Amino acid sequence: MTPEQLAATIDHTLLNPTATAADVERLCTEAVEWGCASVCVLPYFVPTAYRLLRGTPVAVCSVVAFPLGATTQRTKVAEAEDLVMTGARELDMVINLPALLNGDDTTVEREVAAVASVVHRRGGILKVILECGFLSPEQQARATQIASRAGADFVKTSTGFLSRGATVEDVQGLRSAAPPPVRVKASGGIRTYDQALALLRAGADRLGTSATAAIIEEARQRITKT
């Protein structure tokens, strides 16, 4: 995989609570230079990222109910509406983990559907974060099926904040459980080119990482050596 092909799968991510406007500007400049799929930023920085990326192929991505997923449906919908109005084209929403673990699949599905409706009205993309580190393979499959029925465009392995990061096994399980139109995003702990390649080979369509620079540089070095 060439560095350009790899970059096109990456959501170049900065969700650090101490991020500054200068950090976001650098993130956006790098994403355009490398040809990343999107930048993923905190809701506060969506207007900044939109201003910097307007007219480029790089999408603005942000997060809903991050990182716990335990806010109310009304709060999630309001957050999604605000983000799409201020320039986000892609939203990564944390699934309602307490509801899922309590077997309240109706609430989980209703919340995802409500946010999906907001995002899709604007022609956007919704990724639903499952936080696989807290779920058994059976729960991961169930969550994937719920999110898929509710209109998710992607299911995503983790926030990278609460539990372990993405694994090949997670990606394979989500890919197996998701119907063909639904894609898979791997996120959390992706630091090397080999990790990125393994997750893509396992079935991931998109990668979320803050280590994009190191991964792209390693890809370039591999190409040079061959």
Catalytic option among 11, 92, 153, 170 = 92
Query: What does the block give as tokens for 1?
Result: 């995989």
Is-catalytic flag, 92? yes
Is-catalytic flag, 156? yes
Identify which of 53, 54, 17, 59 has the alpha carbon closest to the alpha carbon of residue 38.
59
Separation between Cα atoms, residue 75 and residue 58, nearest integer Å: 27
Q: Is 77 helix (H, G, I), strand (E, B) or coil?
A: helix
Question: Is the peptide bond preceding residue 67 cis, with omega within 30 degrees of 0?
Answer: yes
> Please, is 158 exposed, middle or buried when counting C-beta atoms within 10 Å of its C-beta (0-12, 13-18, 19+)?
buried
Catalytic option among 11, 76, 153, 185 = 185
Identify which of 124, 189, 185, 125 has the alpha carbon closest to the alpha carbon of residue 157.
185
Count of CB atoms situated within 10 Å of the CB of 7: 22
Catalytic option among 11, 76, 127, 156 = 156
Is-catalytic flag, 23? no
Residues marked as catalytic: 92, 156, 185
